[in-house]
Amino acid sequence: MNEAAEKDIDLPDDINELKKLAHAQRNEIDEWKRANEEKSGELHRLHEQYQETRREYEKTAEEYTKTENEYRKTLQELSELKEKYRVLRHTLFGRSSEKWSPDERAQASLFNEAETYSEGPEEKQTERIAYDRVKQRGKRKKIPEEIPREEVVHDISEEEKTCACGKRLTRIGEETSEKLEIIPAQMKVIRHIRPKYACEGCEGAEDESSSAVKIAPAPEQLMAKSIASAGLISYIVTSKYEDALPLARQEKIFNRIGVDIPRQSMARWIMKLGERLSPLLKTMDERILDGQIVQMDETRIQVHNEPGKSDSSQSWMWVARGGPPERPITRYMYHHTREGAVAERYLSDFTGYLQSDAYGPYNKIGECEGVVHIGCLAHARRKFDEADRAASKGSAASKEILSMINKIYRVERELRAVEGLSEDEFLRQRREKAEPLFTKLERHLEKKVEQVPPSTALGKAIAYSSSVLPKVRRYLDLYHLTPDNNAALSSGYRYPQDSVKPLQKKELPKRVA
């Protein structure tokens, strides 16, 4: 080993040569150290560059993730805006009715295909025979008998009533036809004359107890010192609120007749009429609140020139419907806000069934002692109808749920149409048929909650309906309750006259959780 080491080193014997060799090796070592230091510096620089690049990458990745989230959020907002746009476009230009078109009804029937065929009669062999025929025009309805008739006889002349043979013609019958005529509105002045009477013999007498002049008392007038009679005011109010004829147009109509009645005067008459009718409104409120059922809703309304509010701001018309079921009363109440205090004040002394949508103040009132809150199925149905309109090509999921809701309405409609059905039997059959439909609908919504994003129109409809359906089901407990409170805003839904019975006070059912 020593021999090998000696061969490898091979040191010179001369001391000077040995020094040179040592110096050369030292220089090599120094050169190696310098090169190593340079490489270490380069490595450190590369490491710092790597760290900087890594930090920039992480920052870029974070910005990318943030941008991606914002992009997804923007896409979601865009989708929601498109849904709102489709709903608004349908509201402005589409049909207002929620009834399905034939195509929509056919598509919805796909969800009921098995039930339709299983419930229907056995299919029979048929053959199709096609032919064309002239379509008959619809028959004209007969003019009501209570409309006054004025007879105009169109007869032949007396000369024509003599036959060529010289004998007098005998009347053997007649042909009649009727034409509707309208009498345009007419104005007339009713002059009230009250003669005055005086006794010439008592004139100047000292007895002041007996009046020297006698006159009949003035008749009672709806508005004193006004030229408007009760009939004229009734005509103006009916034209404005029932026929939607503004006062400005009525002013022009009266001018055309020949009478100048400024719209400002008509407006003052209406305001005074409201004051005179306040006792009647109080009586209406008492009858509504004395009943067992009150339906309430509120809708937006714009009022021009209202003090403290711009013309573009929204006010609210509150409506309450209740009283005797055979003669329900509908009460409209204007208020400038939608504050829950409006409903709370009106229903402060009410006990019974309150039917409304899921607006917060109604829920609060429904928690009061003696009040049972009934939900409205029509508001839930409207949510799914809007979700269907919001989808670009319609929503099959919405149509499926709408079909399930329509079955509940069909049960109510068919049972109301049955004549001679007792109240107890009606309630039994309605619960027997409608209860399973509600259970099926609620279970279906529970599944859809996990499948549909909550921010979409369909997701919002599912969330809303899931919360109100337990309250909607409470209508099954009372004969005079229906699935919705649509009657509070319109008189479109009416009970068959022979099915309406006086409502007897009953003990309120226990509140359903």
Tokens of 251: 């002013």
Per-residue pLDDT, 129: 60
Give the separation between CA 238 and CA 270, rounded to whole angstroms.
11
Long-range contacts, 478-483 (Cβ 8 Å, 24+): 478/292, 478/293, 478/353, 478/427, 478/506, 479/423, 479/426, 479/427, 480/292, 480/293, 480/325, 481/293, 481/353, 481/355, 481/374, 482/412, 483/376, 483/377, 483/378, 483/408, 483/409, 483/412
Q: Say if residue 513's pLDDT is above 50.
A: no
Q: Which residues fall within 8 angstroms of residue 149, CB to CB, at 6 or more apart?
A: 178
Q: Say if residue 504's pLDDT is above 60.
A: no
- In the block, residue with structure tokens 């002059």: 191
Q: Say if residue 161's pLDDT is above 80.
A: yes
Q: Which residues fall within 8 angstroms of residue 480, CB to CB, at 6 or more apart?
A: 292, 293, 325, 495, 503
Per-residue pLDDT, 457: 87
What are the pLDDT digits (tens) for 317-332? 999 999 998 899 999 9
Query: What are the beta bridge partners of residue 301?
Result: 315
Per-residue pLDDT, 9: 62
DSSP-assigned states of every residue in 332-392: EEEESS--HHHHHHHTTT--EEEE--S-HHHHHHHTSTTEEEE--HHHHHHHHHHHHHHST
Per-residue pLDDT, 216: 93
Q: Say if residue 419's pLDDT is above 50.
A: yes
What are the pLDDT digits (tens) for 192-216? 999 999 887 776 555 555 667 889 9
Q: Say if residue 388's pLDDT is above 80.
A: yes
Task: Judge contact between 77 and 454, C-beta under 8 A.
Answer: no
Count Cβ atoms below 10 Å from residue 388 Cβ, excluding itself: 26
Task: Judge contact between 322 and 293, C-beta under 8 A.
Answer: yes
Per-residue pLDDT, 5: 46
Give the separation between CA 110 and CA 402, rounded to whole angstroms.
12
Calculate the alpha carbon distances from 415 to 5, 347, 422 in Å: 118, 31, 11
Q: Say if residue 492's pLDDT is above 50.
A: no
Calculate the alpha carbon distances from 223 to 121, 189, 239, 247 in Å: 68, 16, 19, 19
Q: Which of 133-137, 287-291, 397-401, 432-436 has the lowest mean pLDDT?
A: 133-137
Q: Say if residue 393's pLDDT is above 80.
A: no
Q: Which residue has better confidence, 140 or 287?
A: 287
Please report, in angstroms and rounded to a whole number, the separation of the first and last CA atoms in the chain: 100
Give the separation between CA 55 and CA 51, rounded to whole angstroms.
6
Per-residue pLDDT, 139: 77
What are the pLDDT digits (tens) for 216-233? 998 988 888 899 999 999
Task: Judge contact between 399 and 104, C-beta under 8 A.
Answer: yes
Give the separation between CA 445 and CA 59, rounded to whole angstroms.
43
